[in-house]
Each structure stands twice: as structure tokens, then as C-alpha cells.
Structure 1
């Protein structure tokens, strides 16, 4: 386990924070755009649990989560840790699976594939938070709301799988 020094904030340091946030928001916006038709025409006809939030909640929650995700990896980039490449790779893979879930579940309307994808995403996000903890505790903590939301999304996906 390595101890990471953090850099003081500088102009380049700000970009190391801003760029990942923007990338996460763009990934989320693209997923939202591509799944829009299914959310309007397919998703309303599925049997969903009573705890399903209104559709307006999802873009608000995801915007906050994408900001936290980008901030998390940005803070990792500000450290001198030799674990940065491993965390970056975990982060990129989880962001890819995050996007892929939207494509599988909504665009392809594949509930089973979505469930498999989100379970893999759950584990990857937990692993990222676990690996980030010794490097930058705040980076790990910023993933905790994401982990909670994914747990809830997994519950929704599982219910939809079982009842449709």
C-alpha cells in the first residue's frame, strides 16, 4: 500500500478535476439521449415496484452522481500514487459498464442482460471505492452515494426481471 501526496491546486490541477466531471456528464447525457424513446414508450408499460421514483428523479440523481464520479477520479489524478493507472482503468471500465447498462436495458430493452450488466457494475464500483480508500479517502467516499443508488437500481432491475 502506498501513501499518496496530494498536489496543491493549480491551473492544471483544476483541469484534472473538471475534465473527468465533463466526461462523466457527457457520457450520462449521451445515454439519456439514446434511451429517451424507450423511457417514453417502453419503460412505462413494465411492471415496476411501488418504490420506483418518478422519471424526473433519475436525471437529477444521475447528474449529481456523475459529478461525484468525475470529482472522485479527478482527486485521484491529483495524487502521486503509483495506483493511479489501476484506479483510472477501474474507473473507465465502470463508466463503460454504466453506459452499457443503459444501452442494454433501455435501448435494447433487454432486462436480463441489463441485470447481468448492473450486477457486474455493482461489484466494479465497490472495488473502485475499496481501492481508492488508501489513495484518497474522499475519492472513495464520493462513490458511496453511487454505490447506494446502484444498489437501488439493481433492486429495480431485479424486480422488473422477475415481474415482466
Structure 2
């Protein structure tokens, strides 16, 4: 299979799994009833933001396998993907914001570690992960505020 087909497969898998997890863990009445901080964005913003981020995450994953080919970057990419996909079932599915906060803190640490390790060997991946890191910082603050308010 060519590299471009693998890239398409990465994008399809990451975006597809993200959509499935989002569909299976829709914020419902429980979430609507929570107190939220003043900086909580409207619900409609999350799907388009995550879709763009998932495309970037997929490209970075593909680059980790086919460009940098470093085992540590592959392991960090898989770890962040696992934590990313675990957050929604923990926060929304199990209705456990505190558990979500623990998961997202580990996710953020993994993303930052990936950026630090990739910056010299794959600057493009580093740049593509910066919006992801910024969004996860915001999501961590939001998650933390929800834990504190509830």
C-alpha cells in the first residue's frame, strides 16, 4: 500500500473513531444540568473543532509511522490517542467529570511530551500538534472548572 493510502487510512480511522465515540457519548440532560463556567463555549463548536484536530492528529500519526519512524513518537502518539478516546466515555458516558480531569491531565502531558520529543526530528508534526495542545489546555481548564462548580 502506498504512503498516501496509509495517510487516508489514518485520517479515516482517527476521524471515524472520534465521530463514533462522540456519537456514543453525547452530552445529555446530565451534562445540561451541570453548572458551567462563564467561558464554556456553545455545544455546536466542539464537533467542527475536534474534526479539524482529528485530521491533524491523524497526519501526525501517519508522519510518526512513515516520516520520523521513531518508536518513542509512535508510542506517545498511540498513548495520546488512547487517552483522547477514553475521555468522552469517562466524562459523558460514566458521568464522572473528576475522572475526565485525571484523564485529560495525562492526555495533556502526553501531548506536550510528544511535542518536546518531535520538535527536532519532525518540526511539521510539532506545529500540527500545537493547536491540539492549545485546545486540550482549554478543555482541561473547562473540565477543571466543571469539577469545581459541581
Partner residue, 2:10: 20
Selected match of 2:111 from 101, 125, 148: 125
Q: Deviations over 1:56-86 (max 9, x none)?
A: 100000000000000112123332x451x22
1:140 & 1:29 partners in 2: Cα distance?
24
Residue 73 in structure 1 maps to residue 49 in structure 2: no
Query: What is the deviation of 1:34?
Result: 1.3
5+ residue gaps, structure 2, are none
Q: CA RMSD in A?
A: 1.3
List structure 1 segments (4+ residues) > 6 angstroms apart after TM superposition.
Answer: none
TM-score under structure 1 length normalisation: 0.86
Residue 144 in structure 1 maps to residue 130 in structure 2: yes
Greater alpha carbon shift after TM alignment, 151-160 vs 86-95:
86-95
1:21–1:70 CA contact under 8 A, matched in 2:
yes
2:25–2:89 CA contact under 8 A, matched in 1:
yes
5+ residue gaps, structure 1, are 1-10
Greater alpha carbon shift after TM alignment, 96-105 vs 27-36:
27-36
2:63–2:69 CA contact under 8 A, matched in 1:
no
Instruction: Report the 3-state secondary structure (helix = DSSP H, G, I; strand = E; otherwise coil) of the residue aligned with 2:25.
Output: helix
1:18–1:74 CA contact under 8 A, matched in 2:
no
Q: Structure 1 or 2: larger helix share? A: 2
Residue 91 in structure 1 maps to residue 81 in structure 2: no
Query: What is the deviation of 1:109?
Result: 0.4
Q: Deviations over 1:1-53 (max 9, x none)?
A: xxxxxxxxxx71212322211111122112111111xx122111111111111
1:25–1:63 CA contact under 8 A, matched in 2:
yes
